[in-house]
Structure 1
C-alpha cells in the first residue's frame, strides 16, 4: 500500500532477475494527454504489426535524448516526465522518487516490507513485448510506448532516521573487487578465446574506424557471482588495448551501462579506463564507429541498436533465422541489419562465449543514417554508404 492515500495511480510491480541479483521495479500507467479511440486488444496488436511493417523506428536517438534530458534535470516526487508513443501521442509519467510503498514478502504473504522509489529506469519494449503486454485484456495508455518509465524499488531500513536503503546483496570492498578483477583479466588474456578475438580483430577489422566502446548489461563486478561480469569486462579491456595500440595510444571512449552497477563499480571501472554511465545514455553513445558488447541482456539490445545505429562491431548472441521468445529477440529488423555484417565465431574454449559471435560490418566506410536517424529505406533495405 502506498504511503499517499490520495495516490490511486495504477502500477505493476515486476522483478528483473539475473545470476547476480533480483531487482524490483515499479511501472506506473501514464496519463494520455490526447484523446484516443478505444480499441480491442486484437486491434491494438494489429496496429503494432502495421507500425513495425511500415518501418517506423520504435527507438530513436531523438526520443532517447528527450527522455535522458528530463531524467538529467533531476525531477523530484510529483514532477512529470513526458514521452511520445509510436502514434505520436504524448504520455505523462508521474515521478515518485523518495516516496515509499509497502510490499508483501514473497516468502511470507502476511509480512510486509517498506520500499523506497529510489532510481528512475526505462523499460524497453520491442514489438513482440508490446503485443504481449496487455494486462487483464485491456488496452492501456502505454499500449504503443516502446519506452516505459519505471522506478527501482529498494528495501528501506525503517529504523534509520533517513530511511536508508538496504542492499539485497553484499557489495564488495573496492580493493578486493579491483584485485579479483585483475586476476580474472590475467586469466582471460591466457585463454584461446582471447587469442582468437585478437586474431579476428587484426584480420578483419583493422580498416574500420573505431573510437568508442560500449558494454551493455555486463553486470556488476562488486556483487557476488561475478565471473561472467569479469570475463566480459576483460574482453572490453582487450578491445580497448587493441584500439590504443592501433591508434598510437590516442583517446578511445569506453563506457559500461548496467542498472546493477554500484559506486564501487564506478571506481574500479574508472581505474581501468571505463566510464560507468546511466541508462539511457549508452544508446546515445552508440554510432557507426563503435564496438558494442551485450551478452544475455534483459532488454532488447539488438532491436534498439538496429533502429539507431550500425556499429562497426557487435558482439552478442548469434542472430537466429526465426523470431524466438527472448528478452533480446532476433527480430526481422535485426536480421535485416545483420545482412550488412560478416559473422565470426570465437572458436571458444570459454563457456562464457559458447553461443556468442562477433559481427563485423562488411563495409569499412561508416554508413550514413537517413535524415530521421534511421537506416531503413521505404523498400526495407538498409545501410546506404557515405560516398566519401
Structure 2
C-alpha cells in the first residue's frame, strides 16, 4: 500500500468542545489546545467505507417522501408552520447532521437485526430519509407562502457521494463537508433543522445569528453538547 492509499482513508473534521467540556472536564489533549472551542482532527474512514452503499437508495428515498407527505404528522407540521407569520421571511433552511441515507449498516447490526426478520438496510437509513423529507416539506411551505426561492442547505460530514447526488437532485445544496462551513450560512432569515448533531449547535448559533426558527433537541437531551 502506497502513501496515497494510506491518506485516502483519512478525512479532516472539525471537532467541537462545548462549554461544559471546557469548564467541567480535565484536559485530555495538549494543554495549548484545551481552551479552544474547536479543533481539527482526522477521522479514519476505512471501516465506514468498507460497508458499501445501498443499490436502490434513490427509490427508497422517493418512497419515504411519499409516505411522509401522506402522514398525519406531516399535515400537523404544515399547519403549525403556516401559523407562524414570520415564516414568509425565510430565505434559507440550514440542516445539520441529518445523516447519510445510502450507506449500509455495520456488520454487527446486520447480524443482530436479521435474526428478527427485519429489512435491516431499509430500516437503518429510514430515519435519515425521513428527516430530509421533513426539510423538503419546510422548504415547500416557506416557498408557497411568498413564491420566493428558499435555499435548502445540508451539512453532514458523513454523507456518501451517492447521498450527495440524491440530495442535489432533490433541491439540497451540500455544504460544510468537514463539519463547519454550514454554520457560516446561518443568518436572521434562516430556519435551522437538526436532530442528534455531533456539535454544540445552540452554542454555535448563539454567537452567529438569531434564526427565525430552530428545530432541534431540547436542552435536556445530550446537554453536554446542547
TM bucket normalised to smaller:
0.7 to 0.9
CA contact (8 A) 2:87 2:142 kept: no
1:123 corresponds to which of 15, 19, 42: 15
SS of equivalent residue, structure 2 residue 152: strand
More helix by share: 2
Name the CA distance, whole Å, in 1 between partners of 2:74 and 2:13: 34
CA contact (8 A) 1:296 1:328 kept: no
Equivalent position of 2:142 in the other structure: 243
Equivalent position of 1:134 in the other structure: 27
2:192 corresponds to which of 289, 292, 299: 292
Unaligned 5+ segments in structure 2 are 105-123
Equivalent position of 2:65 in the other structure: 185
The structure showing larger relative contact order (alpha-carbon pairs under 8 Å, at least 6 residues apart) is: 2
2:80 corresponds to which of 192, 200, 213: 200
The 5 A counterparts of 1:212-291 are 212-224=92-104, 225-248=124-147, 250-277=148-175, 278=177, 279-291=179-191
SS of equivalent residue, structure 2 residue 205: helix
Answer yes or no: is 1:172 the counterpart of 2:54: yes
Equivalent position of 1:306 in the other structure: 206
Name whichever of 230-239 and 118-127 sits farther off.
118-127
- Structure 1 position 139, deviation (Å): 6.2
Name the CA distance, whole Å, in 1 between partners of 2:51 and 2:26: 30
Deviations 1:6-39 (A, max 9, x none): xxxxxxxxxxxxxxxxxxxxxxxxxxxxxxxxxx
Name the CA distance, whole Å, in 1 between partners of 2:26 and 2:208: 23
Paired residues, what number? 203
- Structure 1 position 185, deviation (Å): 0.8
CA contact (8 A) 1:219 1:258 kept: yes
CA contact (8 A) 2:88 2:146 kept: no
Distance 1:315 1:205, change over 3 A: farther
Name the CA distance, whole Å, in 2 between partners of 1:318 and 1:198: 21
Unaligned 5+ segments in structure 1 are 4-96, 101-114, 156-164, 330-388
Distance 1:255 1:166, change over 3 A: closer
- Structure 1 position 217, deviation (Å): 0.4
Name the CA distance, whole Å, in 1 between partners of 2:89 and 2:207: 21
CA RMSD of aligned residues (A): 2.4
Equivalent position of 2:225 in the other structure: 328
Distance 1:116 1:188, change over 3 A: same
CA contact (8 A) 2:93 2:150 kept: yes
Deviations 1:296-329 (A, max 9, x none): 1121112111221111111111234xxx754532
* TM-score w.r.t. length of structure 1: 0.49
Give structure 1 regions of 4+ aligned residues with deviation exceeding 2 angstroms: 97-100, 115-118, 205-208, 324-329
- Structure 1 position 140, deviation (Å): 1.2
SS of equivalent residue, structure 2 residue 45: strand
CA contact (8 A) 1:117 1:151 kept: no
Distance 1:262 1:128, change over 3 A: same
SS of equivalent residue, structure 1 residue 308: coil
SS of equivalent residue, structure 1 residue 215: strand
